[in-house]
Amino acid sequence: MVAAINDALDVALARDPDVHIFGEDVGVMGGVFRATDGLQAKYGAERVFDTPLAEAGIVGMGIGMGLAGLKPVAEIQFAGFLYPALDQILSHLGRFRHRTRSRYHLPMVIRAPYGGGVHTPEQHADSPEAILAHTPGVKVVIPSTPADARGLLLAAIADPDPVFFFEAIKLYRSVKEEVPTDYVTVPLGQARHVTRGDDVTVVCYGGMVEVATRAAEAARQAGIGVEVIDLRTLVPMDTDTVLESVQKTGRVVVVTEAPRTGGFHSEISATIAEEAIEFLRAPIVRVTGYDAPYPPFTAIEDVYRPSAVRVARAVRKVMAY
Amino acid sequence: MTISSDSLPQAGLSPEGAAASEAAYDAGQAAGLFQILAPDGEVVRPDLMPDTGTQLRLYRQMRRARHFDERGWVLYRQGRLGVFPPFGGMEASQVGTAAALSADDWLFPTYRDTGAALTLGLPIARTLAYWRTSPHGWAMPENLKVLPFYIPIATQYPQAVGAALAEKRKGTRNVAMAYIGDGGSSEGDFHEALNFAGALNAPCVFILQNNGWAISVPTRSQTRATDLSRRAEGYGLPGVRVDGNDVLATWHVTAQAVERARNGEGPTLIETVTYRVKPHTVADDPSRYRTEEEGAPWREKDPVTRLRAHLLRTGVLNEEGEAALLAEVAAEFEEALREADTYPDPAPAEILDHVFAEPTPQLRRQREELLAEVEA
């Protein structure tokens, strides 16, 4: 997947001279995960450049670049490092169009690796997507396949509004597939069916898609048809696809690796409860991380992060209700 | 070996520390201020006097700013402004700096910089609408790159670096100028921006208006530093300290900094030393935290009367000419106020506009909900 992201950035830089990529270590080093590998050599240090080590500065500067007509694409080394920049994001990035009545808009993309499963140190595995999804005026995209990552990133860069693009660290090098070689975008706001099934709907995104898909396979062998829906974008969310599936299955499991309370899974659950409660045959079950900081200790990380086993258990639970 | 805690510097907020810091602060305030006109209007640096056209232009802008400031109070009391942070007494700090820009440059003002925005050309009617908290005041004019007044402190500094960098990438000679107060220089964004601007050689001019107070907290409680312009040194930038009540001085140093930035010579930090004569906002009661006497010497340093004394003494302006100028400024304001009064109230559903270029399905749905709610 990281190669697909690198390719999307390459295509975007080649296509639009206003695209500028910047962040910590994105230049010579090519990013801590090599997502920007080779781009500075190809496009020069004016368009792909290293910044001082300061996230508020990176996002704030990007806002200024966007105001002045460039297409800033910032990399934050880990989504858990976004917090120093939250003032810039909440106070400005999300509301600049609104507070200037569209006189200015911010076509900025902020890429950040997120999520667990690869035994990172403290603060490297956070899933802060709900904070951003709760911020008016910003879009949130979380791909789960190389082709989606490429197509969604190109769409995000073309989008006139600010987009957070979270990349599951676990998927960077673990999933491979053929991707297009030309300019192909995947539109924001359209969910994807990963599997089809009539019994249970599993709604997930990013790093949890692979986990849910394994659980669906186990359920299929037990004779339960699971429909795995990869949301792809949280903002805007494709509620139609979710509701359509729920109307068919009547049973819902929502999966994320973020903490439980106030997470985006709660938004998904509430939307289903509001719009399709008459179709539900069982209470919605959430499979999530816990309301504790993500653990850095290898041995217990797998307890925190939802596994296929936990998802399969939730599927059995909604079936047995 | 251990270090006795007695030998360590005292924090500024302990009584002893505060007294020491206060003395150092007062000494620092007095020292090294760049000036062209003394408070009585006498010329200190005849070699740097701008031509009379520039003197008159700056005087007119200060009068426009002061008129807005004075009328702003009245309009607030009449319920015709939603809120207003006054800036009276700081006209030289705002007008002199903003007057050094061209219309193609960027201005990032804080909420207290109405005077700077007016000087760059923000129409009075729109400025009034902004302080009425009306959406008609939110969209800045297409022919100017002045941003809406920033409410969060210091956030505009890194953004100005980005705008400056973008101009540089596009090969223009345009610069970005951002304002902040002494309190704002405690924020992380201030320091990140100065560092970014230096590292990336962004054509930026940073104005730090040291007006003595961050709401109720005096600068000497805000920081142990007594010369905020010297913070620039830590980032490899030139820092300039200027009498913020001398409009010729603020204009001169800012014009130099702008020129340096245009020529690719990099960013500058300018500290304008001035005083917030008035309350923080119309809702503030400064008698809770400072005395009348404290402000008295500052009223003698009034920036408007300072230049006025010089203009009258040298005959660049006479009483008659000044009366005509004041009448013109007042008429311009009243005309703009009439225009602002014609702006209609926003429709309820407008609160959902301009969130994204295209509303999301969620926003479309919420608009329907809102309309149904309003009609119910």
Residue B32 confidence (pLDDT) above 80: no
Ranges of chain A with pLDDT below 50: none
CB contact A235 to B (< 8 Å): yes
> In a mutagenesis test of the B interface, which of A24, A51, A67 is the best target, namely the one with the most B β-carbons within 10 Å?
A67
Provide the shortest C-alpha distance from residue B76 to chain A (in Å): 22
Contact B166 A98 (CB under 8 A): no
A1-171 topology per CATH: Rossmann fold (3.40.50)
CB contact B173 to A (< 8 Å): no
Residue A104: closest CA among chain B residues belongs to which residue?
Answer: B139
Taking a contact as any Cβ pair under 8 Å apart, which residues of chain A between 95 and 154 contact chain B?
Answer: 97-105, 136-137, 139
- Say which of B159, B164, B200 has its CB closest to residue A60: B159
Q: What DSSP letter does each residue of B219-280 carry, written as one string?
A: HHHH-S-S-GGGGGGGGT--EEEEETT-HHHHHHHHHHHHHHHHTT---EEEEEE----S-S
Share of chain B above pLDDT 70, in %: 92
Residue boundaries of the structural domains of chain A: 1-171, 192-320
Contacts with B355 from chain A: Cβ below 8 Å: 97-98, 136-137
Provide the shortest C-alpha distance from residue B176 to chain A (in Å): 10
Contact B357 A65 (CB under 8 A): no
Structure tokens at B370: 């809102």
Dist. CA B137–CA A100, nearest whole Å: 9
Q: What type of residue sits at position B314?
A: T
Per residue in B104-160, pLDDT tens?
Answer: 999 999 999 999 999 999 999 999 999 998 888 888 888 999 999 999 999 999 999
Beta bridge partners of A113: A167
Residue B14 confidence (pLDDT) above 50: no
> In a mutagenesis test of the B interface, which of A90, A101, A106 is the best target, namely the one with the most B β-carbons within 10 Å?
A101
Contact A51 B360 (CB under 8 A): no
Burial A153-185 (b: 16+ CB within 10 A, else e): bbbbbbbebbbbbbbbbbbbeebeeebeeeeeb
Contact A52 B192 (CB under 8 A): yes
Contact B138 A189 (CB under 8 A): no
How many residues belong to chain A?
321
Residue A55: closest CA among chain B residues belongs to which residue?
Answer: B192
Structure tokens at A124: 């490297």
Q: What type of residue sits at position B99?
A: A
CB contact B192 to A (< 8 Å): yes
- C-alpha closest to that of A205 among A111, A122, A280, A142: A142
- B361 preceded by cis ω (within 30°)? no
The active-site residue, picked from B126, B220, B231, B280, is B280
**Is A134 a catalytic site residue?**
no
Q: Give the strand pairing for A233-235 and A139-141.
A: antiparallel
Dist. CA A121–CA B72, nearest whole Å: 55
Instruction: Give me the total of CB pairs closer than 8 Å, taking one residue from chain A and one from chain B.
Output: 143
**Is B25 a catalytic site residue?**
no
Contact B135 A101 (CB under 8 A): yes
Higher pLDDT, B350 or B257: B257
- Structure confidence at residue B30 as a pLDDT band (50, 70, 90): low
Q: What is the pLDDT of residue B135?
A: 82
- Say which of A66, A97, A103 has its CB closest to residue B355: A97
Supply the ipTM of this predicted assembly.
Answer: 0.93
Q: What is the pLDDT of residue B375?
A: 85
Q: What is the pTM of this model?
A: 0.93
* Count of C-beta atoms within a 10 Å radius of residue B11: 11
Angle at the Cα of A78 (from B358 to A147), degrees rounded to 5? 55
A192-320 topology per CATH: Rossmann fold (3.40.50)
Per residue in B287-337, pLDDT tens?
Answer: 999 998 888 889 889 999 999 999 999 999 999 999 999 999 999 999 999
Per residue in B204-250, pLDDT tens?
Answer: 999 999 999 999 999 999 999 999 999 999 999 999 999 999 999 99
CB contact A63 to B (< 8 Å): yes
CA atoms within 13 A on the CB side of B17: 15
